Structure formats: C-alpha cells, structure tokens
Amino acid sequence: EDSGKTEARSSWTVCVPICYSIILTGSKGFLKTLSTFTGDLSQLTAPSFILSGTSLLEYSAYWAEHPNLFAQAAKESDEERRALAVLKWFLATLKGQFAARNETSGRMFSEKKPLNPVLGEIFHGSWAAHGDVGETVLLAEQVSHHPPIAAYKIQNKKAGVIYRGFNGQKSGFTGRTISVKQVGHGIYHLDQQKEDYLITFPNLRLEGLLFMAPYVELSGSSYIVSSTGYVATIDYSGRGWLSGIKNSFTATLSKESGGLKGATLHTISGVWTGSSKIRNEMTKKETPFWDSSTNAPRHLNVEPLLKQERYNSRLLWEKVAKALAAGDFDLAGKEKSEIENWQRNLRKEERGRNEPWVQRYFEWVELEPISSKLSKFLPAKNSEESSFSNAWIPK
Ligand code: 0T9
C-alpha cells in the first residue's frame, strides 16, 4: 500500500513541472494567435501536436457510420415510425461527428485540427452491403475554399434513401472558448414514400483550449422537419448546464397541424455519447432508445491509393499525413505549403484566363424548393436564415 502511494506521488512530482511548462510555454504563442483570431478556423495556426492528418472533407462520412440506421426509415410502415427512425439515425451520428476523434486519436486524446480541404477535393467511399442492408455510397466535394464549404451525397440505392447536405462554419473567440456556428443543412430523402426531412446542424463550442486539449461541446437546438409534418427538436446541454451531465440532450417529436406545433408525442433523453431512452407521451411508457457505447460505428471503405486520382483526399494529403504521423512537423509544413502553392497558382491562372473553377458533382442553387418550404416550420429565429433557401445540391 505504501509503495503504491510513493509511486503515485513520484509520477506527480515528475508530471506537474513538465506538464506545467509545456502548457505555459507551448500555449503562449497559441493563446496569442487565439487573441488575434478573425473567425476563419482554417486560418488558425495550432500547435503542431494537435494537427491531424485527416482532411475535414472526410468528416462527411460520420453521417453513415451506422448504415442500418441510415436506411431504416425506408422500411417503416407509417409516418410516425419513419420520423422516429430518422431521428434515431441523426442522434446516432453525433458521437462520431463530435466525440469519437477525442477518444481514439493520438496521445493527447484531444480534438485535432483537420487539414483544410483544397477547392475541388473529392472524398469517395462506401460501406459494403451487410445483412439485408444494401451498399451505402458517399461522394463528397469541397465546393468552396474561401470560406471552406463541403458538399456531400450519401445514397443507399437498395433502400431508396439519399441524404445530401453542405456544411461550412462561422466562428468567434469568446475569451476562453471558440464558438462555432454550422452553416448549411441536409435533406434526407425517401424515394418510395416521397418524403423529405430537413436537417439542421447544432452549434458547437471548442472547450479545453487553455490546456491545449480541445474538445467539442454542443449547444442550443437543432431540428428535423419532415414533409409529413413531423418536427423533431433536439436541445443540447452539457457539463455547464442545468443537468450538469456532459453531452446530454432532450429531443421531442411532435406533429405540425395547420401551421401550429402539435402536442409532444415522444420525448427522448439521455447522453449522445452513451445511452438514451424514449417516453411515449400518450402511454407514458419508457423504453430504451439507443446505446452508442454498445453499437460500434462502421467505417467506410476507400479505394486503395494506387487507384485514387490527384484530387482524392487521401492521395492528395498522403505526404502531409505521413509526415505528421512520423512527428516530422517541418516536413509536414513543407508538404502542406507545396499543396497550397499549387492551389494558389491554379487560382491565379484561372483569373488570368477569366475562367473560374467549376465544381464537378455539385451546383449552387439560389432557391432550393424543398428546404425553402420545410424551413418555414422551424422556430422563427432559425427559419430566417438565408442558408435554408439556397443550397449546394448534386448535379
Ligand atoms: C462537419 C464537425 C464539423 C464539420 C467540424 C470546428 C472543427 C471543424 C468543423 C462541424 C461535421 O459534420 C461535424 C465536427 C467537428 C468540427 C471541428 C472541431 C474542430 O476543432 C474544428 C476546427 C477547424 C479546429 O480544428 C480548430 C482548431 C482547434 C482544434 C485547436 C485550435
């Protein structure tokens, strides 16, 4: 017992001064850059040990890491069950989108700064058919570099499900945290039932910056509005809020009638990194809903590098990712500059020829009928957002 205590004490006496000096000296420059932060996350210089070798474009894959849930709504026999299935799929993506990188990547167990995709970068992959769930295919394209915007389409042909969306970020530094507003939206579409679901994205905050161990917290609310009239509202709260529990949420499902929000039919509550339960508000019966700790995500398959084209994320960033993985930050920086210069020259040439870049798989539409219509059912402050009337959609 005694020797255990000594061991514990000695590891502390070693760690405290070392960790302290890493935090103080390492973060000085970082905190200085934070204080001059303009709001463009891609331009923020982060300390080298929180640089990731993964392109931000790859994050679009998080939407389908539970391919069975992605396709489930197509199999449900009535509107309410379909609305619940879409909600379950959405909630099940949250752990991958916002927390999983933290648990698995690197020795610091922290969110890392992804690579800033180049204009025209493509990320393409699939989840093989599994049981009675058909193949799911992802196609993502970086449609804008300044500001960074990614567009994507995920399809399960057998089930007749297509999800398309686009995503950018607006952010601000509030002294201790970076708050990030997600710009864009998604449309989940069911072929057979001819239903659409408008998906809005939650706001997030980057916490832990002072300790250079950033992690994401979700805040505010996000919505899923269906063309059948069902509306799901998801409220996020975290450690700092009333419940005090990290990554908690409450979601309600109601049905719109005559422009009015109907009574709550179901309430789902729990923790999006853990488990949740659903209460039927008519019968007051409570049953388990989803447990993300016992349902491992499935990662997509990507073509081998030899078969990839220059603009495919993994091949494009291969050298940078390798250098980062090897801890050679000088080399990583050089390789990154090479890509950035190549891109700068391309843009200059385009300006010279007066021929702007043309996106390959997606196009910008000013008035997108589905989201324009569905966004009318969002709470007032959300529906005013212009980002719901226009969209990047598959060509
Ligand atoms: C869409 C998602 C988004 C992208 C990431 C803010 C962030 C870039 C955007 C919003 C996905 O569907 C969901 C998840 C995580 C979001 C990222 C978390 C994050 O930290 C990064 C930004 C760009 C940074 O890396 C800032 C640097 C920071 C880690 C240390 C300074």
Distance from C-alpha of 84 to C-alpha of 81, rounded to nearest angstrom: 5
pLDDT value of residue 6 = 39
- Residues 279-292 as b/e (b if ≥16 CB within 10 A, e otherwise) read beeeeeeeeebbeb
How many angstroms separate the alpha carbon of residue 373 from the centre of ligand 1?
Answer: 29
Atom of ligand 1 nearest to the CA of 206: 20
Mean pLDDT, the chain, rounded, equals 89
Q: What is the pLDDT of residue 5?
A: 42
Determine if ligand 1 sits within 6 Å of the CB of residue 216. Answer: yes
Reported as a single tens digit per residue, the pLDDT across 281-301 is 999 999 999 999 999 999 999
From the CA of 268, how far away is ligand 1's center (Å)?
Answer: 26
Please state, in angstroms and rounded to a whole number, the distance separating the CA atoms of residues 346 and 153.
26
Cβ–ligand 1 contact at 70 (below 6 Å):
no
Nearest protein CA to atom 27 of ligand 1, as residue: 113
pLDDT value at 95 more than 90: yes
Say what the pLDDT of residue 353 is. 97
Q: How confident is the model at residue 384 (pLDDT cuts 50, 70, 90)?
A: low
How far CA 124 is from CA of 94, 127, 194, 313, in Å, comes to 21, 11, 26, 8
Q: Is the CB of 46 under 6 A from ligand 1?
A: yes
Q: How confident is the model at residue 22 (pLDDT cuts 50, 70, 90)?
A: low
Residue with CA nearest ligand 1 atom 21: 113
> Residue 259: its pLDDT value, please?
72
Q: What is the ipTM of this complex?
A: 0.98
Percentage of the chain surpassing pLDDT 70? 87
The answer to whether 178 touches 41, Cβ cutoff 8 Å, is yes
- List CB contacts of 214: < 8 A, sequence separation 6 or more: 50, 110, 111, 206, 207, 208
Strand pairing category for 286-291 and 51-55: unpaired
What are 46-87's pLDDT values in tens digits?
A: 888 889 999 999 999 999 999 999 999 999 999 999 999 999
- Ligand 1 closest atom vs CA 63: 12
Whose CA is closest to atom 2 on ligand 1? 97
Which token pair is 157? Answer: 């042909």
Q: What is the pTM of this model?
A: 0.91
Measured by CA distance, the residue closest to atom 24 of ligand 1 is 113
Tally of CB atoms within 10 A around 194: 9
Our answer on whether the CB atom of 64 is closer than 6 Å to any ligand 1 atom is no
